[in-house]
Amino acid sequence: MNPSRRNLLKMGGAALAMIPVVAVAAKNDSIRTTMRYKGSPEGDKKCADCGLFVAGASATDAGSCKVFPGDTEISPNGYCMAWAQKG
Q: Could you read off the pLDDT of 29-49 as tens digits, one per residue?
A: 889 999 999 999 999 999 999
pLDDT band for 22, please (50, 70, 90 cuts): very low
Cβ partners under 8 Å of residue 64, min gap 6: 53, 54, 56, 70, 71, 72, 74
Residue 18 scores a pLDDT above 60: no
pLDDT band for 51, please (50, 70, 90 cuts): very high
Q: How far apart are CA 55 and CA 37, in angstroms?
A: 16
Q: What is the pTM of this model?
A: 0.67
Q: How far apart are CA 46 and CA 80, in angstroms?
A: 8
E strand or H helix that includes residue 26: helix 3-34
